[in-house]
Amino acid sequence: MLIKPVTPNNPNPSGVLIPIPQYPLYTATLAQFSGTPLPYYLDESKGWSTSPTEVRAALAEAKKKGVTPKALVVINPGNPTGALLDEKTQEELVKLCEEHNIILLADEVYQCNLHRANEAPFTSFKKIVRRMNSPVGLVSYHSISKGVTGECGRRGGYLECTNFPDEILALVYKMVETDEKYRIA
């Protein structure tokens, strides 16, 4: 289980590292499932880029507070900032996830909406994880409603799980098959 509620048998809350600023879906979802948001701050001086140093600081703060980090959310390209990560930063973040045994949640729904695609192309975290031969658990998100041809109000998307055991994938499929709102029409 990604988020474990605080109980007498589990006194340490679970947390998820989330970028600030960020799309409010992450804080709302964490609140709904009793998770603890672990904010890390994007570097405005570097075009709102994700800073591995900031993520490490958030991990240290979580440890001080007794919160167990379970995942790192990275929004690439950034929403609402439009920041696009370079491959070196992506590699550092994958290594950080390996070191701390946390899942990487790669929100890549804006990959088709690049400001300077010729100068700064998009690279998926899956490409980085594969190239590094990393065992890190990766969940990549994409959407048909955010691309250049997507229509406002049309909702649909997908996620891809990389480096997860079959038992976990079976639970994901079971959730999708039993919940009406996730069913494929």
Give the global pTM: 0.84
Torsion of CA 110, 113, 116, 121, to 10 degrees: 50
pLDDT < 50 positions in the chain: 1, 185
Euclidean distance between CA atoms 103 and 71, whole angstroms:
4
What's residue 1's pLDDT? 47
pLDDT value of position 132: 97
pLDDT score at 183: 54
pLDDT of residue 181: 58
**DSSP calls for 30-99:** HHHTT-EEEEEE-BGGGTSB--HHHHHHHHHHHHHHT-EEEEEEEESS-TTT-----HHHHHHHHHHHHH
- How much is the pLDDT for 109? 67
- List the domains of the chain with CATH numbers: 14-182 (3.40.640.10)
User: Per the structure block, which two tokens stand in for 40?
Assistant: 């890390």
